[in-house]
């Protein structure tokens, strides 16, 4: 992994509070925004210059630097066809910094330019965003939407993917009358309205927020001349339970007989739910293009993958050993994602990893990234942009990174504890070995979590016991002391408390395959917080009686039950916190003792 630039002044150890202060220096290497971060899309739409011409590509190198690293060709998916050979207009061609198209672009762009509805099968990271953006831009440049109206609507399953799409569009519309904005959850809805009033030719949104605007705002009047509609990652979008929202959104569209509209649907797979929506969205004579080899649909079946079984108190030393091993194998190109079942688990792991880096536990200095729902949206954008752009680093994450986010060249996926279901295991594993590259996956389980190996979909996976499990456990044992030292110095007591609460909630009500009784859940969590997290004293962290009741643990005598948590304001959430994520639009923090801490 590439070491960060060293300052002339020696680095001083930082407290956890300093590391969590978003605006304070030294927040942890790798957290800053990558050049051209998409965070600004949350604040306002792209400004509208007067000229209706695209900026010419006078310098291939500098022009290309304005683009996301995933918006062009994906390794392994290139075609021999040039953008110059398409039906795109000269001014749009000038905005494209690449000579050759990817396969999905080569098959899609000219078909979409005819105005036909289109069904596209392509995986994330193959250039499909550009494949549907350029035809949309051609359409809107020929018939620009009036101010305050929306010409194109793109639905994405996640906020991160919506921001990624909008960011990729920005350079193409630079210097035109077109503008783009995002409508996503976790942001101020009144700001959305102001942006729409100012002008949003193209809206990229998540289904829930777009549905809210259509139901409660004046969004319906804004889409009465909608010219283009795109469902991106449709299989994931429907798999995440957005079918009702998608249907509700479509019901607000004007009749196509009165207002012509082009619709495009992109999906890697075609389950029944996607086919049902396809029949609702696309005209019968729609075009169908696919760049997915039938053998690639089950690519996760060909990724090398093993599992380890070890007590919880060995999991962090194992994590350190696995990262060190990957660094030894890949050097500066080592790029690791460590998945945790809860947001609080990912939060604690990121603090610990930064503490280990301060102690030079990895050898070379490494970049640490953090991704979970407890971060503010701007912090999540900065982190994902940074990890996407970096050559090497480690990201501690919850399942917000498990689907749809394209991080190139991930060499290792470590799943620290079982995911919620077999399909989540597949999506996490899918962050590595993308676009024809090699990858590796390791699942680390506690003995009581081995039931996960028998859940639906897992028995068919080529997941085998690690042949070197004993050697790994022995090596991890030698790392226990430095892990304990970093746990003491780098992880705040409040973070340990929240991780403890999330662990209780996970195993009391969210984990269906551990088969732990309520007594065993509490004993396990107490042992974890004292022996692994090294919580001070001999009384476990406080848990609200109300939360314990929801978990079915209110009668457990070895819980430290309280009416309200220290520092909590009566009648409201605690607010504030990591990058502003624990207040604001979410109305304060949700207790970690819910059925399953939010990913």
* DSSP 8-state class, residue 311: -
In the chain, DSSP finds a helix count (H) and a strand count (E) of: 21, 18
* pLDDT exceeds 90 at position 29: no
Among 98, 134, 448, 104, residue whose Cα is nearest residue 296: 104
pLDDT band for position 373 (cuts 50, 70, 90): confident
Candidate from 18-27, 88-97, 355-364 with smallest mean pLDDT: 18-27
Structure confidence at residue 456 (pLDDT): 85
In a domain, 71, yes or no: no
Task: Decide: helix, strand or coil at residue 397.
Answer: strand
In a domain, 82, yes or no: yes
In a domain, 223, yes or no: yes
Residue ranges with strand state E in 26-68: none
User: Which pair of tokens denotes residue 274?
Assistant: 């996607």
Distance (Å, whole) CA 311 – CA 568:
34
Which of 463, 491, 519 marks a domain boundary?
491
In a domain, 511, yes or no: no
- For residue range 107-155, what is the model confidence (pLDDT) as tens digits? 999 999 999 999 999 877 788 999 999 999 999 999 999 999 999 999 9
Structure confidence at residue 403 (pLDDT): 65
Provide CB contacts within 8 A for 104, sequence distance 6+: 77, 120, 122, 126, 127, 128, 131, 289, 291
Distance (Å, whole) CA 573 – CA 291:
48
Structure confidence at residue 530 (pLDDT): 98
Whether 258 and 312 map to the same domain: the answer is no
Whether 194 and 240 map to the same domain: the answer is yes
Of 292 and 329, which is predicted with more confidence? 329
Whether 343 and 228 map to the same domain: the answer is no
Give the mean model confidence (pLDDT) for residues 394-422: 88
In a domain, 33, yes or no: no
Please give the radius of gyration of the chain, using alpha carbons only, rounded to the nearest integer. 24
Distance (Å, whole) CA 312 – CA 93:
55
User: Which pair of tokens denotes residue 57?
Assistant: 């590509």
Q: Give me the domain span that covers residue 324.
A: 299-491
Structure confidence at residue 140 (pLDDT): 97
Distance (Å, whole) CA 462 – CA 304:
8
Structure confidence at residue 568 (pLDDT): 72
Give the mean model confidence (pLDDT) for residues 265-273: 87
Quote the crossing angle between the two packed helices 493-505 and 518-527, to the nearest 10°.
160
Structure confidence at residue 296 (pLDDT): 52
Distance (Å, whole) CA 8 – CA 27:
18
Half-sphere exposure (Cβ direction) of 176: Cα atoms closer than 13 Å: 27
Backbone angles phi, psi at 159, to 5 degrees: -65, -45
Helix or strand holding residue 79 (H, E): strand 78-82
Distance (Å, whole) CA 105 – CA 108:
5
Is the sign of the CA dihedral 93, 95, 99, 103 positive or negative? negative
Structure confidence at residue 241 (pLDDT): 85
Backbone angles phi, psi at 294, to 5 degrees: -50, -30
Structure confidence at residue 321 (pLDDT): 98
Distance (Å, whole) CA 280 – CA 555:
51
Number of domains in the chain: 2
Distance (Å, whole) CA 404 – CA 128:
12
* pLDDT exceeds 90 at position 286: yes
Whether 198 and 146 map to the same domain: the answer is yes
Q: How many residues does the chain have?
A: 599
Bridge partner list, 412: 336
Distance (Å, whole) CA 103 – CA 146:
34
Name the H helices within 432-492. 469-477, 480-490
Whether 240 and 307 map to the same domain: the answer is no
Contact status, residue 511 vs residue 342, Cβ threshold 8 Å: no
Distance (Å, whole) CA 580 – CA 20:
10
Of 62 and 478, which is predicted with more confidence? 478
Average pLDDT over all residues of the chain? 82
Helix or strand holding residue 381 (H, E): helix 377-389
Candidate from 293-302, 311-320, 461-470 with smallest mean pLDDT: 293-302
User: Which pair of tokens denotes residue 210?
Assistant: 């777009």
Quote the crossing angle between the two packed helices 343-358 and 480-490, to the nearest 10°.
110
Of 125 and 235, which is predicted with more confidence? 235
In a domain, 378, yes or no: yes
Give the mean model confidence (pLDDT) for residues 423-434: 84
Structure confidence at residue 108 (pLDDT): 95
Whether 332 and 224 map to the same domain: the answer is no
Q: 304-309 and 464-465: which strand pairing?
A: parallel
Quote the crossing angle between the two packed helices 189-198 and 207-216, to the nearest 10°.
80
Whether 271 and 315 map to the same domain: the answer is no
pLDDT band for position 308 (cuts 50, 70, 90): very high
Structure confidence at residue 293 (pLDDT): 66
Structure confidence at residue 581 (pLDDT): 35
In a domain, 204, yes or no: yes
Among 348, 402, 355, residue whose Cα is nearest residue 592: 348
Is the sign of the CA dihedral 22, 27, 31, 35 positive or negative? positive
Which of 460, 491, 522 marks a domain boundary?
491
Of 32 and 259, which is predicted with more confidence? 259
Half-sphere exposure (Cβ direction) of 180: Cα atoms closer than 13 Å: 27
Whether 409 and 306 map to the same domain: the answer is yes
Provide CB contacts within 8 A for 481, sequence distance 6+: none
Which of 491, 517, 538 marks a domain boundary?
491
Give the mean model confidence (pLDDT) for residues 16-32: 36
Alpha carbon 133 to its chain's center:
21
Give the mean model confidence (pLDDT) for residues 466-481: 97
* DSSP 8-state class, residue 530: I
Most confident of 130-139, 270-279, 372-381: 130-139
Global pTM reads 0.61
Structure confidence at residue 402 (pLDDT): 65
| C-alpha to C-alpha distances, 256 to 79, 225, 260, 439, 597, nearest whole angstrom | 34, 10, 5, 46, 43
Structure confidence at residue 61 (pLDDT): 32
Contact status, residue 364 vs residue 384, Cβ threshold 8 Å: no
- For residue range 517-570, what is the model confidence (pLDDT) as tens digits? 999 999 999 999 999 999 999 999 999 999 999 999 999 999 999 999 887 765
Where residue 458 sits, what CATH number does that domain have?
3.40.50.300
DSSP state letters, 502-523: HHHHIIIII-SSS---HHHHHH
Of 406 and 369, which is predicted with more confidence? 369
Whether 129 and 101 map to the same domain: the answer is yes
Among 188, 232, 240, 238, residue whose Cα is nearest residue 212: 188
User: Which pair of tokens denotes residue 506?
Assistant: 């996970």
In a domain, 241, yes or no: yes
Candidate from 35-39, 261-265, 275-279 with smallest mean pLDDT: 35-39
Among 156, 150, 151, residue whose Cα is nearest residue 128: 156
Whether 228 and 359 map to the same domain: the answer is no
* pLDDT exceeds 60 at position 59: no
Whether 280 and 175 map to the same domain: the answer is yes
Whether 159 and 227 map to the same domain: the answer is yes
Distance (Å, whole) CA 527 – CA 534:
10
Structure confidence at residue 299 (pLDDT): 60
């Amino acid at each position: 992994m590439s070491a960060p630039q060293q300052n002339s002044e020696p680095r001083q150890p930082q407290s956890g509070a300093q590391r969590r202060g978003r605006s304070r220096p030294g927040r942890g290497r790798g957290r800053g925004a990558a050049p051209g971060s998409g965070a600004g899309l949350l604040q306002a739409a792209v400004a509208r210059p007067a000229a209706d011409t695209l900026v010419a590509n006078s310098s291939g190198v500098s022009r290309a630097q304005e683009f996301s690293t995933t918006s062009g060709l994906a390794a392994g998916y290139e075609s021999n066809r040039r953008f110059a050979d398409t039906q795109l207009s000269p001014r749009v061609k000038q905005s494209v910094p690449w000579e050759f198209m990817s396969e999905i672009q080569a098959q899609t762009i000219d078909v979409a330019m005819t105005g036909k509805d289109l069904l596209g099968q392509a995986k994330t990271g193959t250039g499909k965003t550009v494949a549907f953006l350029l035809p949309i831009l051609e359409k809107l440049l020929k018939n620009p939407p009036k101010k305050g109206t929306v010409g194109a609507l793109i639905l994405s399953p996640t906020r991160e993917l919506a921001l990624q799409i909008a960011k990729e569009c920005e350079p193409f519309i630079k210097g035109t009358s077109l503008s783009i904005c995002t409508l996503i959850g976790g942001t101020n809805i009144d700001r959305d309205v102001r942006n729409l009033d100012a002008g949003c030719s193209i809206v990229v949104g998540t289904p829930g927020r777009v549905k809210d605007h259509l139901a409660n705002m004046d969004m319906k009047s804004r889409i009465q001349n909608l010219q283009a509609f795109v469902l991106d990652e449709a299989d994931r979008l429907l798999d995440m339970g957005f079918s009702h929202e998608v249907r509700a959104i479509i019901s607000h569209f004007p009749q196509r007989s009165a207002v012509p509209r082009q619709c495009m649907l992109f999906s890697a797979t075609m389950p029944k739910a996607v086919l049902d929506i396809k029949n609702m969205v696309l005209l019968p004579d729609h075009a169908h293009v696919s760049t997915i080899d039938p053998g690639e649909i089950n690519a996760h079946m060909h990724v090398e993958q093993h599992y380890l079984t070890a007590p919880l108190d060995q999991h962090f030393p194992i994590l350190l050993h696995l990262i060190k091993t990957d660094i030894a194998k890949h050097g500066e190109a080592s790029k690791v994602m460590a998945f945790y079942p809860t947001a609080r688990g990912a939060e604690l792991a990121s603090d610990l990893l930064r503490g280990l880096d301060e102690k030079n536990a990895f050898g070379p200095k490494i970049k640490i990234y953090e991704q979970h729902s407890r971060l503010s949206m701007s912090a999540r954008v900065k982190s994902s942009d940074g990890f996407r752009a970096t050559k090497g680093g480690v990201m501690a994450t919850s399942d917000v990174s498990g689907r749809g986010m394209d991080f190139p060249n991930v060499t290792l996926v470590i799943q620290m504890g079982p995911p919620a279901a077999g399909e989540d295991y597949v999506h996490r594993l899918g962050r590595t070995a993308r676009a024809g590259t090699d990858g590796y996956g390791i699942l680390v389980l506690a003995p009581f979590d081995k039931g996960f190996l028998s859940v639906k979909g897992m028995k068919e996976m080529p997941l085998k016991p690690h042949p070197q499990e004993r050697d790994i456990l022995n090596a991890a044992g030698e790392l226990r002391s430095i892990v304990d030292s970093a746990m003491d110095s780098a992880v705040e007591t409040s973070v340990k408390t929240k991780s403890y609460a999330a662990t209780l909630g996970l195993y009391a009500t969210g984990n269906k395959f551990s088969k732990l009784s309520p007594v065993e859940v509490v004993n396990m969590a107490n042992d974890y917080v004292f022996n692994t997290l090294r919580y001070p004293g001999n009384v476990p962290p406080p848990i609200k009686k109300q939360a314990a009741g929801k978990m079915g643990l209110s009668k457990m005598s070895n819980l430290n039950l309280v009416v309200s948590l220290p520092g909590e304001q009566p009648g409201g959430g605690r607010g504030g916190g990591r990058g502003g994520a624990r207040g604001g639009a979410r109305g304060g923090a949700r207790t970690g003792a819910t059925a399953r801490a939010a990913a």
